[in-house]
C-alpha cells in the first residue's frame, strides 16, 4: 500500500518527537519515501542528523534557505509528496494551521500544500482540552485535515489523560487509510486561483488648470468590490484606480492614477492578464492644453475650453492582437436606451461581456451602495435585481470563473 508513495513528514517540537524516528523507520520498511522537515523547537528533542539518517535524504529546516530555494523551493516541497504528515502536531502547529499563519517553514508548507494533511497531535492534556485547541481542531477538521489520536495515558509531565502521540504503527495505519483515497486538494469550483485579473475603478480627473478638472460622480465602490471578490477567489489582482475616497482592497496590487492616459499606461503595464474588467468611469474628453496657472474671471467672460478625446482603454485592450486577455469586460453606465447602447458597445469595443447599468437621475447608482445590472454578451442579456455592490461583484467574478473554466475545457466562449 505504501510502496512508491512519498510522505512529507513535519516533526513538531515536543518530547514525543523521538517517536517520529520510529515512524520513519516503519514507513521506509513498507517502501515509502520520506521527506523530513523539522521545526526549530523539534531540534531541542531530536537532531536533524538522526532524522536524515533514517529518511536517507536532506532534512529541511529553514524557510529562507538559499540552497533549498535553489534546489527545491518550499512551494514545490509542499506539493512533491502524496500526503503531508505532522507528527507530533503540537498545539502551536495546530493553531498556526487553523489560522493560516506562515512564519516558518513548517507552517508555510501546511498553507501551501495541495495535498491532504494528517496530523498526529501530542501535548499536555490541559493544552489538548483547552477551548482554543478544541476550536482549532474543529476548524481544521472542517477544512479537511485528518487526525489520528491523540491517545490517552501517562505523560512525560506526570499527568494522565488524553494528549499522548499515537503509536507509530497506528499512524502508519492512518496513513494507509488516507492514501486509499485521492489526497489531492481540488480548487474550489469557480475559483480564479492562479489567474491574473486587471480591474479599473473610479473616475479620472482631467485637469483644466491646477485647481479645476473634468470628472464624474463615480465612487469606485463597484470596481473596488470586484477587485476584492477576484482576490478572494484566488486571483492575482491588479487594481488601477482613479481618485477615490475609499480604501485600497487588502491583498490587491493597487496602482493610483489621475488621468485617462495614466490609467491606460498602467493597464498596459499590467498586461498580460487572463481577465480585464474596465469598471472605471473614464472621462471621454480632456482639455487640449491644461492651464499652467489658475484661470481667473475677467471682462473677457468664460474661457474657451477646447476638448479632445481621451484614449479608449476598453477598446485598446479588447482589440489587442498580442497578449489580449482571455476575457475582456466593459461597463456601460447609461441614462437612455440602456440595453441598445450596451449591445452596441459590446461590438464597438471588441469585448466579451458588458455589464450595463442605468445611472439616470434618481437611480442612486453613481456613488451609492447598490447596483442593478444587466449582463450583455454575444448570446443575449441576463438581468439581475437590485443588489448590494459587493454581491454584484461576487456574482460577476463567479460568472467570469465559469467562463474561464469553459474555455479551459474547450467549451463555448461568451
Residues labelled as active-site residues: 157
Chain-centroid distance of CA 45 in Å reads 37
In degrees, rounded to 5, the angle at the alpha carbon of residue 35 between the alpha carbons of residues 33 and 39 is 150
Of 371, 205, 195, the residue nearest 286 (C-alpha) = 205
Q: Distance between CA 260 and CA 285 in Å, rounded?
A: 9
Say if CB 311 and CB 264 are below 8 A apart: yes
Counting every residue written for the chain, the total comes to 414
Measured between alpha carbons, how far is residue 360 from residues 18, 363, 390 in Å?
A: 72, 6, 21
Across the chain, which distance is largest between two alpha carbons, in Å? 98
Say if CB 240 and CB 198 are below 8 A apart: yes
Q: Distance between CA 149 and CA 151 in Å, rounded?
A: 5
Say if CB 194 and CB 234 are below 8 A apart: yes
Amino acid at each position: 500500500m505504501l510502496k512508491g508513495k512519498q510522505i512529507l513528514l513535519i516533526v513538531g517540537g515536543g518530547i514525543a518527537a523521538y517517536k517520529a524516528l520510529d515512524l520513519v523507520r516503519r514507513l521506509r520498511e513498507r517502501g515509502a519515501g520520506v521527506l523530513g522537515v523539522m521545526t526549530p523547537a523539534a531540534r531541542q528533542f531530536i537532531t536533524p542528523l538522526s532524522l536524515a539518517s533514517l529518511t536517507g535524504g536532506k532534512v529541511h529546516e529553514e524557510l529562507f534557505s538559499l540552497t533549498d530555494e535553489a534546489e527545491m523551493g518550499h512551494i514545490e516541497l509542499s506539493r512533491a509528496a502524496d500526503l503531508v504528515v505532522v507528527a507530533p502536531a503540537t498545539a502551536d502547529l495546530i493553531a498556526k494551521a487553523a489560522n493560516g499563519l506562515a512564519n516558518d517553514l513548517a507552517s508555510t508548507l501546511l498553507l501551501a500544500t495541495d495535498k491532504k494533511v494528517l496530523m498526529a497531535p501530542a501535548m499536555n492534556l490541559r493544552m489538548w482540552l483547552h477551548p482554543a485547541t478544541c476550536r482549532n481542531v474543529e476548524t481544521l477538521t472542517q477544512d479537511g485535515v485528518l487526525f489520528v489520536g491523540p491517545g490517552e495515558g501517562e505523560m512525560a509531565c506526570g499527568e494522565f489523560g488524553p494528549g499522548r502521540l499515537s503509536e507509530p504503527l497506528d499512524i502508519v495505519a492512518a496513513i494507509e487509510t488516507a492514501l486509499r483515497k485521492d489526497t489531492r486538494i481540488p480548487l474550489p469550483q469557480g475559483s480564479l486561483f492562479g489567474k491574473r485579473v486587471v480591474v479599473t475603478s473610479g473616475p479620472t480627473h482631467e485637469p483644466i488648470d491646477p485647481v479645476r478638472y473634468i470628472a464624474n460622480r463615480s465612487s469606485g465602490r463597484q470596481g473596488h468590490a470586484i477587485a476584492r471578490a477576484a482576490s478572494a477567489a484566488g486571483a492575482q489582482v491588479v487594481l488601477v484606480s482613479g481618485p477615490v475616497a475609499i480604501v485600497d482592497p487588502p491583498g490587491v496590487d493597487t496602482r493610483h492614477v489621475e488621468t485617462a492616459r495614466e490609467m491606460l499606461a498602467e493597464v498596459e503595464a499590467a498586461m498580460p492578464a487572463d481577465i480585464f474588467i474596465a469598471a472605471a468611469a473614464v472621462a471621454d474628453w480632456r482639455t487640449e492644453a491644461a492651464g499652467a496657472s489658475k484661470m481667473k474671471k475677467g471682462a473677457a467672460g468664460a474661457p474657451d475650453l477646447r476638448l479632445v478625446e481621451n484614449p479608449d482603454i476598453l477598446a485598446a485592450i479588447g482589440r489587442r492582437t498580442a497578449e489580449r486577455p482571455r476575457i475582456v469586460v466593459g461597463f456601460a453606465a447609461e441614462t437612455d436606451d440602456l440595453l441598445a447602447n450596451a449591445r452596441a458597445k459590446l461590438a464597438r469595443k471588441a469585448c466579451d461581456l458588458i455589464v450595463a447599468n442605468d445611472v439616470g437621475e434618481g437611480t442612486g447608482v453613481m456613488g451609492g451602495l447598490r447596483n442593478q445590472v444587466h449582463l450583455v454578451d454575444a448570446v443575449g442579456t441576463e438581468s439581475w435585481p437590485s443588489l448590494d455592490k459587493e454581491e454584484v461583484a461576487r456574482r460577476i467574478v463567479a460568472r467570469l470563473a465559469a467562463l474561464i473554466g469553459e474555455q479551459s475545457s474547450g467549451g463555448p466562449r461568451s
